[in-house]
Amino acid sequence: MVFQQTIKKEVELKGVGLHSGKPVSLKFKPSLSNSGINFVRTDLSEKPVIKADISNLLEQEQSFRRTSIAISYLSSEGQKFAEVQTIEHLMAALFGLGIDNLLIEIDGPEVPGADGSALAFFELLEKAGSIKQETKHKPFQIREPLFIHSHTDIALVILPDADFKVSYTLDYPSSFSSQHLIIKFSSVAEENKMIFKKELAAARTFCLKSEIEKLQKDGLGKGANYKNTLIIDGDKVIDNTLRFDDEFARHKILDLLGDFYLLGLPLKGYAIGVKSGHGANTRLLKKVRKQEEKIRSGGIPFPLSTYSFKTVLDARDIQDILPHRYPFLLVDKILELEEDKRITGVKNVSISEYFFQGHFPGHPVMPGVLIVEALAQTAGILLLSKEENRGKIAYFMGIDKARFRQKVAPGDQLKLEVEVIRLRKNSGQVCAKALVEDKVVAEANLMFVLGGR
């Protein structure tokens, strides 16, 4: 288990998009536990929030040779589309620094290319400092091998392993000699940061001279030059000098780390890549997410794990019990749990919550129905935490005596208190209250029935 982290203070970065060639400014701001990495497109009128998550990935056909995320959102003018392109180097820097929660305001469609590596992002955010947050991560451990393979000899595999390590082999027969590298990462945040800084942060993006014409025809590389992109001509680099003898392989690992960080939690496994790139990375990542979901539903048992009743639960423990996932998981932590009697949970309300995009966006207010849903999920954890109820679902069946007493806004912390009124084998009734700074903001009596998935 490792503590989540965010940055200590706000910092800014300006630059030009590597492919769009457009100037862009970024503001990095601290964010709450369990909020993840969120981009806010400040140049768009509705300021849509795009979470850096697998579910928001653009397919490679729409984002060739780079990793991009996008959402469709409803505006006053109808349905619109917002994207942030070329996020992989920034995401890799966040992996290296162990930053889990961050709000990134961006006034354009593409992250700056900087010098073609993760170094500018890493150094800026390292200077901003990091702070540990109360919530912990439970690393996801690969349980069954997963692989991607194509007829062009591109392969990417991830195997079960007690640690996280990456092996990569790069081979362009018509150009430079093959490169091979293995890097083992650490579960200790400071050690991991030093490994990334020393071995990967400065490794720059590259392409073959023979590829330039096609890339330009496709509208790419408008912000590229010989300083931010290593151009390979035969066995030489044009108008530049390598920072590492095997800089190309190192950059491929850097890209992989940035793509894998879209999983949203630490990973344990052994990734082995052969000539793979963003397409293979994101395809494998989707398989990792499916394996994670299958494990959460009990489809892949872990023979070493045993059931253990807990009185304090973090985000991963909660996801072991509830089937809910982002953006509809509304409980961040359980502070105390007394079996069959009561439970107290917490929901940190962040400005990056998806519902603030449309619910009084000028004066953001958390919808009352979602406060009730947060209470219902807390009650569900109480009912499903018992060993005999694991694997079931607590279906919300009724509500009585509901009252909403004051608004809940970004920055508030909801304290969710639930006490059992009546509990039977397959049903339950609870009294639930939501508080902000010890003042009741909402309350209701809730009824549930337990059923299978």
Enumerate the active-site residues: 278, 359
CA distance 390 to 148: 33
Give the E-state strand segments of 17-101 in sequence order.
Answer: 23-30, 37-41, 49-51, 69-75, 78-84
Residue found by looking up tokens 């496709």 in the block: 218
Examine residue 367 and say whether the peptide bond preceding it is cis (omega within 30 degrees of 0). Answer: no
Q: Token pair of 128, please? A: 């901003």
Q: Token pair of 293, please? A: 């979901």
**Neighbouring residues of 262: CB distance < 8 A, sequence distance ≥ 6:** 52, 53, 54, 57, 67, 69, 91, 282, 285
**170 — phi, psi (to 5°)?**
-115, 135
Strand partners of residue 83:
70
How many angstroms from the chain centroid is the CA of residue 222?
29
Which residue type is seen at 366? M
CA distance 413 to 349: 6
